[in-house]
Chain A
Amino acid sequence: DARVTQTPRHKVTEMGQEVTMRCQPILGHNTVFWYRQTMMQGLELLAYFRNRAPLDDSGMPKDRFSAEMPDATLATLKIQPSEPRDSAVYFCASGQGTSAFPGELFFGEGSRLTVL
């Protein structure tokens, strides 16, 4: 059963530390997304890749966040330095990116980040 895999599932860190989250999209999917979810804001798009190329990262604080896809099987989201307001659940999702399935994204289980 194909699924999106995210690590770590939980992370507690102190303010100022670097945090790296990793995602393995479903094999064959060509779109990858990073979302952040909080009670206040809901799901916010941070970054979007198609065929490994970054297409949209306008939702991401550029001064501290960075997203990359070094290869088709790995997407990373890095926060440096982390701040308490970054505490949230970070979801990675992948999709086929075709007009036939525009709305179907497959989400990973999320990385729950707590910054003290």
Chain B
Amino acid sequence: RKEVEQDPGPFNVPEGATVAFNCTYSNSASQSFFWYRQDCRKEPKLLMSVYSSGNEDGRFTAQLNRASQYISLLIRDSKLSDSATYLCVVIRGYGGSQGNLIFGKGTKLSVKP
């Protein structure tokens, strides 16, 4: 089983729709979680961190479920510009070392007019 797994999609949604992605991780000792965004033929960029209590940034909401070992990303009122691949990132184990960053393969989102 891969350490970080994501549904590759693509998720094709109309503008204005609400869409959610899940990401599961296998190492129960993982402590830190993040979502990155990668536009086509571009580099990944940090979208948001995922806190235990859940967190929101505008139209984006990230949540963590430790019991079931998954994190989620919810996008409300989706825009054409949200079209991208969303990468789930987990820091393996304790200590928060950047050397233990594990990237999922990503979920592709395509928002249509």
Q: List 8 A-B contacts (CB under 8 A).
A: A33-B101, A42-B103, A42-B104, A42-B106, A50-B99, A102-B97, A103-B33, A103-B101
A94 (CB) vs chain B CBs: closest residue = B98
**A-B pairs with lowest CB-CB distance, top 3:** A42-B105, A107-B43, A102-B96
Q: What CA separation (Å) do A33 and B46 show in the bound complex?
A: 15
Would you call A95 and B98 a contact (CB within 8 A)?
yes
Q: A55-B99, A107-B45, A109-B43 are known contacts. Are A102 and B104 too (CB-CB below 8 A)?
A: no
Q: Does A25 contact B (CB under 8 A)?
A: no
Q: Mark A48-85, 1 if CB is under 8 A from B, else 0.
A: 10100001100000000000000000000000000000
Taking CB atoms, residues of chain A closer than 8 Å to B101 are 33, 45, 102-103, 105
Which residues, 75 to 116 on A, are CB-close (under 8 Å) to B? Answer: 91, 95, 97, 99, 102-105, 107-110
Asked whether B23 is an interface residue with its Cβ less than 8 Å from the other chain, the reply is: no
Q: Which residues of A contact B45 (CB under 8 A)?
A: 107
Chain A: residues with CB nearer than 8 A to chain B? Answer: 31, 33, 35, 41-43, 45, 48, 50, 55-56, 91, 95, 97, 99, 102-105, 107-110
Decide: A56 near B104, CB < 8 A? Known: A103-B32, A103-B91.
no
Chain A residues with Cβ below 8 Å from B106 are: 42
Q: CB within 8 Å of A: which of B14-38?
A: 32-34
- Chain A contact surface mostly: strand
Contact with A along B85-112 (1 / 0, CB 8 A): 0010101000011110101111000000
Interface range on chain B (Cβ under 8 Å from partner)? 20 to 34
B103 CB, nearest partner CB in chain A, Å: 4
Tally inter-chain residue pairs, CB-CB below 8 A.
Answer: 55
Which of B34, B87, B98 contacts A97, CB < 8 Å? B98
How far is the CB of A23 from the nearest CB of chain B, in Å?
12
| A103/B49 in contact, CB under 8 A | yes
Which one, A41, A55, A104, A108, contacts B46 given CB within 8 A? A104
Please determine whether A103 and B43 come into contact, CB atoms closer than 8 angstroms. Answer: no
